[in-house]
Amino acid sequence: MNFSTEPFGRTPEGEEVSLYTLTSTKGLRARITNYGAILVSLEVPDRHGKLDDITLGFESLDKYIEQKVYFGATVGRFANRIGNARFVLDGVEYKLAANNGPNHLHGGLQGFDKVVWKPVEVTGGEDRAWVKLTYLSKDGEEGYPGNLQCTVTYTLTNDNELRIDYEAQTDKKTVLNLTNHTYWNLAGQGTGEILRHELMLEATRFTIVDKTLIPVGITASVVDTPLDFLAPRNIGARIRQLNNGYDHNFVLNGKPGAMKSCARVYEHTSGRIMEIATTEPGVQLYTGNFLDDSIIGKGGKVYGKRTGFCLETQHYPDSPNKPSFPSTVLEPGQRFASTTVHKFSAK
C-alpha cells in the first residue's frame, strides 16, 4: 500500500491545506483533503479493470471553499436536520443557525465541512493505508455545547474497501451525528444521471417527515411505496412518484451500534458494485435533487440534477427533539465511535 502528501492550497485566512493520496496494490486510489475532511476522489476499476473516479467534486481548494453542496465532506456537528433550529438538553435550550428554511442543516453556517482538520497520521502497511484527521469544535461553536474533540480516519484496504471511522469525546453533555456526504456515480463522475443505478437497501421502515423534511416522530413501512428497495430496483424506477426525488431517512434493519449491511448498488454499464456496511441506525438516500448545470466539477464536467446520489449513514434527523429515536447524546467520559465501510467489486 502506498501513501503520499502534497499541498492543496491555502484558505483565505492563510491556513495551509494538504491533499493525501492512498493507493492499494489492486489499483484503488483515494484522495482526501484535511479541509472539511473531504473525500476528493475515489478511483475504482470497472469490469475490465479500467479506473474511473466515481465521486463528484472539484480539482481546487477554492471550489471546495465556495461549495454549498457538501461534495465528499465530513458533516457535523449534527448531520441532517434539526427542527426549528433548536433543541433542549437537561432543561437548557440551545439555539442554532436556521440555514435550511426554519431548520438547522448539517452543522450550521460553518460546520465540520468548512474547517481545516489537523493531520494526526498518514501511513500504511502491507494490506492498508490510512489518514487520520482531528478537529476541536469549541464550546458554543455553531450553538452546540461542549468542547468536542473529533477524529475521522479514512482507510483504504487491499480488500477493495474504503473504511471511515469516527471518534469523539466531549467535556460537556452535547449531541452528535456525523456522516460522510459523498455524491456517487458508479459509471464515473460527470457521466450523466444515476437513475439506472440498481439499489437495494436493508431497511423495512423509514421516518415520516413534514413538509420541511423534519420527522414527525414515527416510522412507516416501505412496502408498496416508492421507498421500497428491499429487492434491487433502479433508483429512477419510481422517482417521479415523489415530489422532488429521494431525500429520505431509512431505518436500517439490525441493532444500532452493531455492524450490519446497509446497501448494495450496481451500475450495469461499468459493472461496478458498491456495498455499504455501518454501525449507524439509519441512512439518508439523496438523489442530487438540487444540483443544477451551474456546477462545474472535475475535468470540466457539468453536474446537473441527479448526476450523483448520496447514501449518508447516520442517526435519524431531529433526534435531539425526538425521545423515541436512538439517542444522539454524548456525555463527558463517553467515547463516541462509528464506522462505515464501502466495499467495491465489479461483474
All cell numbers assigned to 323: 425521545
Q: Which residue, chain included where needed, has cell 473531504? A: 38
For every residue of 53-106, DSSP letters joined together read E-B---SSHHHHHH-SS-TT-EE-SB-SEEGGGEEEETTEEEE----BTTBEET
Whole-angstrom distance, CA of residue 213 vs CA of residue 208: 8
Active site residue 181: yes
Pairing of strands 174-175, 51-53: unpaired
Peptide bond before residue 335 is cis, with ω within 30 degrees of 0:
no
267, 275, 280, 312: which one is catalytic? 312
Determine the Cα angle at 291 with ends 288 and 295, to 5°: 135
Which helix (H) or strand (E) segment is 165 a member of?
A: strand 161-170
104, 106, 181, 248: which one is catalytic? 181
All cell numbers assigned to 20: 493525501
In the DSSP assignment, the letter for residue 206 is E
- 148: how many CB neighbours lie within 10 A of its CB? 24
Whole-angstrom distance, CA of residue 188 vs CA of residue 192: 9
For every residue of 230-261, DSSP letters joined together read SS-EETTSSGGGSSSS-EEEEE-SS-TTS-EE
Q: Which residue, chain included where needed, has cell 431505518? A: 251
Where in the sequence numbering do the catalytic residues fall? 181, 312
